[in-house]
């Protein structure tokens, strides 16, 4: 072999070696075997700064349902009502994606992302369209069985590279405990959804239920089967009313049971007065503390307003259908709010 050709060949192999080393380093950085997890492959959990750049983004007016009612009240001359409802509308709220229509969902995603980019902050989305949603109860609906994963993939394409936070299907895992027909299908479906969500720069949390609902060891096993080792962690207290200290104790216990140090977020939108004896439009509930990301010194990443305060839990305790605006309840939440 001529000398020049040998030199060229050596250079090629040097570059191949460099590329291989870089690929190996990336893989090791992203997926590692952590102490206490056996041979499970556990994703690197992001710091708060990595997961929530710029803090929490506020919704644009097009997606902010409380804002619509602030505007309507002000236009009708109901100034005091408008000011009280603005206490809700002015906070960073999660955007729920519930419409099985891909074009409608993608339009919502794009408008929220545009607002978040302008604020240089992190938007929070909630996927809530799983088949057999709410096991046919107050929030029943969702996509058809064959449409769910294509719907998730369409959402992922719209979100890719945005560094958004995604909460995956609140209630979807915890509800297995009371809905027998979900036991064989729900966790494999969620695992496929996790597969679609990973690798696109998103920060993902699965459904972690809440205290006093599912035994911790059971929930830990279900979360592992759903793919929690591949995401940032889990969310608790979504649309519920437990106090932060109670939920944080539960979430820490659950994280220990899962292993691999998963992080978590807690919904504090309506827990200002704590548990009121009912999960569905209970009397006396109040807004929780102002949503914010933490300093990142523990596994708690953020306290969020996931449930939109003022939207009914269902046709219970005098409320309208699930997801519909209920002004008197919204005003009561403001009146009973926790003072930071």
Q: Which residues are catalytic?
A: 134, 171, 313
Residue entry with tokens 């009397």: 283
- Residue 92 is encoded by which pair of tokens? 């960073």
Q: Angle at CA 90, nearest 5°, toward 88 and 92?
A: 90
DSSP per-residue string spanning 44-86: PPPPHHHHSTTSBPPPPTTT-HHHHHHHHHHHTT-HHHHHHHH
Identify the helix (H) or strand (E) that includes residue 38. none
Phi, psi of 53 (to 5 degrees): -60, 130
How far is Cα 89 from Cα 82, in angstroms, rounded to an integer?
10
Residue entry with tokens 């992080």: 263
- Residue 277 is encoded by which pair of tokens? 């004896």
Give the closest residue to 94 by CA, choosing from 193, 215, 239: 239
Distance, CA of 275 to chain centre: 22
How far is Cα 109 from Cα 129, in angstroms, rounded to an integer?
14
Sign of CA dihedral 176, 182, 188, 191: negative
Q: Which class for 247: exposed (0-12), middle (13-18), buried (19 or more C-beta within 10 A)?
A: buried
Identify the helix (H) or strand (E) that includes residue 73. helix 65-75
How far is Cα 152 from Cα 175, in angstroms, rounded to an integer?
20
């Amino acid at each position: 072999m001529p000398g020049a050709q040998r030199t060229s060949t050596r250079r090629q192999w040097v570059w191949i070696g460099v590329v291989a080393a870089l690929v190996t380093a990336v893989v090791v950085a992203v997926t590692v075997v952590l102490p206490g997890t056996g041979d499970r492959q556990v994703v690197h959990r992001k710091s708060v700064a990595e997961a929530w750049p710029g803090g929490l983004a506020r919704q644009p007016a097009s997606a902010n349902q409380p804002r619509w009612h602030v505007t309507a009240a002000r236009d009708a001359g109901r100034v005091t009502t408008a000011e009280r409802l603005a206490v809700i509308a002015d906070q960073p709220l999660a955007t729920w994606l519930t419409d099985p229509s891909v074009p409608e969902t993608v339009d919502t995603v794009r408008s929220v992302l545009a607002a978040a980019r302008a604020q240089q902050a992190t938007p929070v989305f909630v996927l809530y369209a799983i088949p057999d949603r709410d096991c046919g109860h107050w929030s029943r609906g969702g996509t058809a069985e064959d449409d769910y994963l294509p719907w998730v993939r369409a959402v992922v394409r719209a979100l890719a590279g945005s560094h958004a936070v995604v909460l995956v299907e609140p209630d979807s895992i915890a509800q297995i405990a009371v809905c027998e027909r979900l036991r064989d299908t729900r966790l494999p479906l969620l695992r496929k959804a996790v597969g679609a969500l990973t690798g696109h720069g998103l920060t993902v949390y699965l459904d972690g239920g809440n205290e006093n609902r599912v035994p911790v060891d059971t929930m830990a096993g279900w979360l592992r089967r759903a793919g929690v080792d591949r995401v940032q962690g889990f969310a608790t207290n979504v649309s519920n009313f437990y106090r932060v200290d109670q939920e944080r104790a539960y979430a820490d216990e659950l994280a220990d049971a899962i292993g691999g140090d998963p992080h978590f977020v807690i919904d504090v939108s309506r827990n200002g007065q704590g548990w009121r004896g009912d999960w569905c439009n209970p009397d006396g509930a109040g807004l929780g503390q102002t949503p914010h990301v933490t300093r990142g010194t523990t596994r708690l990443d953020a306290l969020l307003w996931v449930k939109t305060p003022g939207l009914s839990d269902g046709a219970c305790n005098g409320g309208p259908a699930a997801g519909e605006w209920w002004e008197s309840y919204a005003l009561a939440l403001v009146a009973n709010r926790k003072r930071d």
